[in-house]
């Protein structure tokens, strides 16, 4: 069943891709092939592969329990928040918080997680900022 | 003679303090990455790409660092195979078969040492093979015009799923998906934006480094979250390592095995669509057929340890041949290395050997040096690496995630790229669950633009005649191989894969 859904999504994607390709504004100066042929052929093969997946699905993968899915979803949200707030609160705080959360959710005790989070943040800051001189996002506190 | 002169010049380049230090760092980190289950060579190299960029390395030092990681990971994979019966990466799968039984018999140290030597022999022979074969392939590749290149890319995509692929439709889907992503951005030939949907960030196209780190490194974090596989795989004091020097007798008795396996592995590495996993599989099965008269294979036969290790390391070297000479990688890790070269503004392919000879030969010399370092590191210091296996993933994986974020942010300084990377991480996780190979996606994003440019160049040269694509015997031959390479696995794939996985199931689907 998963494969059939996957194939259907792929087919829709291929159709959408072909439609979006046809929307490309062609320049008056174009080569013999033009900017549309290649993406169109890609869309066609993508669609054919999707149809093949629908017609001959593999055996069902082992999907995780709902609780695990929620877990992954929460981690994604944390990562998105990390990306969004990196520029606001600065690298040090954002990294410490995100690492603490991930470490905790992977089964470490709360106190140890906080320690790992702080250590990771400090470690990366030292290696990447102080040793390698990479520019990391700066927060109001200067790190 | 020419070759030896170039090689000598390569050693001059490689033997600087900085390059030696990078090779040492790379081999060390690579061994760790290889040894830790869940982090394979492709992930390992992907995570370290940003590091190479932030250090502001030039092309040669960057490639030295990353290929050392690649070779190191090939060495490291065996450690957890032998000690824990969990392959550190997919190519090390076959090493479990005889390595772990040896460890159970109290000969873990011997197995580690022997496999270290076998890895060395495999990589050493393969590096020589690279030196001898790559320039020949370059001469051949100079005959290629745009139409032939287009066919060659098609061949690479058709065979990338590999002989062991079970579902070619999914491989094709993955490759096309990658190509579709490559199209996004301003068209290089006419200057019109394509599929950007008005988003300015997309005008430059998707950065393939962002895609690679997301697909390989972040998706691994999601896999661990899903299984909550946070505990260390190595319980304390599971297995005693024992003596770690192999006896001469043992080495002597396994030498023919190592040599044969190295050769087979190298060939498997050069051929498109085979790669290191298949290299070690072929080497092991061939040795079993040839010398296993008493049925000791699978019960701790030293030759069963030497064969796959020599095979997979030789295949790793072999896979560099098409990547450097043609610009068409045959495996996941070489695809990642290709990405690095491309972002350093170096186009692999025949011209690389004339235009950037210093990069090529410096790299090859560095491979020799790295290989000796690895031998030195892996025999006496193997105890250190076994202790590192105790670091539980619940601490390691968040660090991997954070280093990915920092690295990508360091390259572009934009949080938009971080969001794209998270997107690719989720996508990578979904695709892995659905058993869709990730390597074609990467290769598609990497090569898409070059492939399209060759198509358009070929057709433009012939004034819009599409038959030029099959206009030369060489192009026709390449298309034929591509078609056969795509169809063949549909029939034999199931068989090969069933045999490869007969005794081992692996969690990882990011093949080497």
Q: Please, where are the H alpha helices in B228-348?
A: 248-270, 275-291, 302-326, 332-343
Closest-CA residue of chain A to B55? A132
Contacts of B194 in chain A (CB under 8 A): 21, 24, 35, 39
> How many Cβ pairs closer than 8 A exist between chain A and B?
188
**Inter-chain residue contact A45 with B172, CB threshold 8 Å:** yes
User: B85 Cβ partners below 8 Å, 6+ apart?
Assistant: B96, B100
Distance CA B45, CA B454 (A): 29
Closest-CA distance, A116 to chain B, in angstroms, reads 7
* Closest CB to A6 among B402, B415, B434: B434
* Cα B347 to Cα B46: distance, rounded to the nearest angstrom: 19
- Centroid of chain to Cα B7: 24
The dihedral of CA B67, B325, B56, A143: what is its sign?
negative
Give which of B226, B217, B119, B211 is closest to B424, Cα–Cα: B211
Contact indicator for A139, A88 with CB cutoff of 8 Å: yes
CB contact under 8 A, A120 and B197: no
What is the pLDDT tens value at each position of chain A, 143 positions in all? 889 999 999 999 999 999 999 888 777 777 778 888 899 999 999 999 999 999 988 888 888 888 888 989 999 999 999 999 888 888 889 999 999 999 998 888 889 999 999 999 998 888 777 777 777 777 777 66
Determine whether the interchain pair B459/A63 forms a contact, defined as Cβ–Cβ distance below 8 Å.
no
Q: For residue B98, how many C-alpha atoms fall within 13 Å in the half-sphere facing its CB?
A: 26
Interchain CB distance below 8 Å, A39 and B183: yes
Compute φ and ψ for A133, nearest 5 degrees: 70, 25
CA distance B208 to chain A (A): 18
User: Within a 10 A sphere around the Cβ of B228, how many other Cβ atoms?
Assistant: 16
Q: Is B197 in Cβ contact with A95 (below 8 Å)?
A: no
Q: State the Cα angle at B416 between A46 and B52, rounded to 5°.
A: 90
Chain B partners within 8 Å of A9 (Cβ): none
Residue B480: per-residue pLDDT: 92
Q: Are strands B193-194 and B185-186 parallel, antiparallel or unpaired?
A: antiparallel
Contact B444, B329 (CB under 8 A): no
Angle CA B477–B332–B426, to nearest 5: 125
CA distance B289 to B276: 20
- Does residue B190 sit at the A interface (CB-CB below 8 Å)? yes
**B311 with B265: CB under 8 angstroms?**
yes
For residue A37, list chain B residues with Cβ-Cβ distance below 8 A: 455
CA distance B373 to B358: 22
* B471 phi, psi to nearest 5 deg: -90, -10
B362 with B64: CB under 8 angstroms? Answer: yes
B426 CB within 8 Å of a chain A CB: yes
CA distance B221 to B218: 5
Q: Quickly tell me which residue has 């929307």 as its tokens.
A: A23
Q: Closest-CA residue in chain A for B401?
A: A99
- Alpha carbon distance, N-terminus to C-terminus of chain A: 49
Is the Cβ of B197 closer than 8 Å to some Cβ of chain A?
yes
Residue A117 has a pLDDT of 93
Distance (Å) from the C-alpha of residue B311 to the closest C-alpha of chain A? 31
Instruction: Show Cβ contacts of residue B77 under 8 Å, excluding neighbours closer than 6 positions.
Output: B34, B35, B40, B41, B87, B88, B89, B91, B92, B95, B312
Kindly state whether B217 is in contact with chain A, defined as any CB-CB distance less than 8 angstroms.
no
- CB contact residues (below 8 A), chain B span 432-451, against chain A: 433-435, 451
Instruction: Look at A56 and B179 and tell me if their CB atoms are within 8 Å.
Output: no
pLDDT per residue of chain B (512 residues) written in tens, 0 to 9 = 678 888 898 898 888 999 999 999 999 888 888 887 767 788 788 878 877 777 778 888 988 899 999 888 888 888 888 887 777 777 777 888 888 888 888 888 888 888 889 999 999 999 999 999 988 888 888 888 899 989 988 888 887 766 556 688 888 999 999 999 999 988 888 888 888 887 777 888 888 888 888 888 888 888 888 877 555 555 444 556 666 677 788 888 888 899 999 999 998 888 776 667 778 888 888 888 888 777 788 888 888 888 999 998 998 889 899 888 888 887 778 888 888 888 888 888 888 888 888 888 988 998 999 999 998 888 777 777 877 777 777 888 888 888 888 888 877 778 888 999 999 999 999 998 888 888 888 888 888 888 998 999 999 888 888 888 888 899 999 899 888 888 887 777 667 666 666 544 443 344 44
Q: With an 8 Å Cβ cutoff, are B225 and A29 in contact?
A: no
Q: Which residues of A fall within a CB distance of 8 Å from B425?
A: 79
- pLDDT given at position B412: 76
Query: With the C-alpha atoms ordered B245, B249, B254, B258, is the resulting torsion angle positive or negative?
Result: positive
Whole-number pLDDT of residue B244: 67
CB neighbour list of residue B240: distance below 8 Å, 6 or more residues apart: B106, B108
B228 → closest Cβ in A46, A106, A124: A106
Q: Where are the domains of chain B?
A: 2-239+248-500
Q: Using an 8 Å Cβ cutoff, are B114 and B246 in contact?
A: yes
Domain ranges of chain A: 2-55, 66-131
How many Å apart are CA B156 and CA B170, to the nearest integer?
A: 15
Q: Nearest CA to CA, how far is B54 from chain A (Å)? A: 6
Residue from B42, B39, B7, B35 nearest B330 by CA: B42
Q: Which residues contact A45 (CB under 8 A, 6 or more apart)?
A: B172, B176
Q: How far apart are alpha carbons B69 and B246 in whole angstroms?
A: 25
Alpha-carbon span B289 to B286, nearest angstrom:
5
Residue of A nearest to B231 (CA): A107
B113 closest CA partner among B263, B221, B4, B251: B251
Say which of A3, A63, A106 has its CB closest to residue B230.
A106
Alpha carbon of B452: minimum distance to chain A alpha carbons (Å): 6
């Amino acid at each position: 069943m998963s494969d059939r859904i996957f194939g259907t999504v792929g087919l829709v994607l291929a159709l959408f891709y072909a439609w979006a390709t046809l929307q490309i504004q062609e320049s008056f100066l174009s080569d013999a092939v033009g900017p549309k042929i290649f993406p169109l052929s890609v869309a066609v093969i993508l669609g054919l592969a999707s149809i093949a997946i629908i017609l001959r699905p593999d055996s069902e993968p082992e999907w995780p329990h709902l609780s695990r899915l929620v877990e992954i979803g929460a981690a994604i949200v944390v990562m998105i928040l990390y990306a969004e707030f990196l520029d606001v609160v600065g690298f040090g705080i954002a990294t410490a918080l995100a690492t603490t959360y991930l470490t905790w959710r992977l089964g470490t005790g709360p106190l140890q997680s906080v320690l790992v989070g702080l250590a990771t943040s400090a470690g990366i800051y030292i290696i990447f900022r102080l040793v390698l001189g990479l520019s990391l996002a700066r927060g109001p506190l200067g790190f | 003679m020419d070759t030896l002169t170039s090689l000598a010049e390569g050693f001059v380049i490689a033997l600087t303090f900085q390059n030696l230090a990078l090779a040492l760092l790379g081999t060390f980190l690579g061994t760790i990455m290889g040894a830790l289950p869940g982090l394979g060579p492709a992930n390992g190299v992907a995570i370290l790409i940003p590091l190479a960029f932030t250090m502001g390395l030039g092309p040669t030092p960057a490639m030295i660092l990353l290929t050392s990681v690649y070779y190191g990971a090939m060495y490291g994979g065996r450690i957890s195979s032998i000690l824990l019966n969990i392959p550190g990466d997919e190519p090390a799968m076959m090493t479990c078969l005889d390595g772990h039984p040896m460890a159970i018999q109290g000969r873990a140290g011997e197995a580690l040492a022997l496999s270290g030597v076998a890895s060395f022999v495999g990589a050493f022979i393969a590096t020589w093979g690279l030196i001898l074969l790559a320039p020949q392939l370059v001469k051949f590749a100079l005959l290629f015009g745009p139409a032939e290149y287009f066919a060659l890319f098609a061949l690479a995509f058709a065979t990338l799923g590999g002989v062991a692929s079970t579902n070619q439709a999914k491989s094709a889907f993955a490759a096309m998906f990658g190509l579709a992503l490559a199209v996004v951005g301003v068209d290089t030939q006419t200057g019109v934006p394509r599929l950007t949907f008005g988003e300015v960030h997309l005008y430059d196209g998707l950065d393939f480094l962002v895609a690679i780190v997301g697909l390989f490194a972040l998706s691994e974090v999601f896999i661990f979250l899903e299984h909550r596989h946070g505990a260390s795989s190595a319980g304390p004091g599971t297995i005693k390592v024992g003596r770690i020097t192999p006896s001469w007798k043992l080495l002597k008795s396994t030498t023919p095995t190592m040599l044969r396996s190295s050769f087979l592995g190298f060939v498997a590495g050069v051929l498109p669509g085979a790669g290191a996993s298949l290299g070690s599989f072929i080497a092991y099965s061939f040795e079993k057929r040839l010398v296993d008269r008493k049925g000791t294979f699978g019960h701790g036969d030293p030759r069963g340890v030497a064969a796959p290790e020599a095979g997979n390391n030789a295949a790793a070297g072999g896979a560099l041949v098409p990547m450097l000479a043609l610009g068409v990688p045959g495996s996941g890790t070489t695809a990642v290395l290709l990405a690095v070269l491309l972002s350093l503004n170096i186009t692999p392919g025949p011209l690389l050997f004339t235009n950037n000879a210093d990069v090529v030969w410096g790299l090859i010399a560095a491979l020799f040096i790295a290989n000796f370092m690895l031998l030195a590191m892996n025999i006496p210091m193997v105890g250190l690496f076994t202790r590192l296996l105790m670091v539980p993933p619940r601490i390691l994986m968040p660090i991997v995630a954070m280093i990915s974020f920092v690295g990508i942010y360091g390259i572009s300084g934009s949080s938009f790229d971080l969001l794209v990377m998270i997107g690719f991480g989720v996508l990578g996780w979904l695709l892995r669950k659905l058993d869709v190979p990730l390597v074609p996606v990467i290769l598609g994003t990497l090569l898409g633009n070059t492939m399209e440019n060759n198509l358009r160049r070929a057709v433009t040269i012939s004034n819009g005649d599409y038959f030029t694509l099959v206009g030369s015997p060489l192009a026709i031959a390449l298309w034929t191989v591509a078609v056969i390479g795509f169809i063949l696995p549909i029939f034999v794939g199931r068989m090969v894969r069933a045999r490869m996985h007969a005794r081992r199931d692996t969690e990882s689907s990011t093949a080497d």
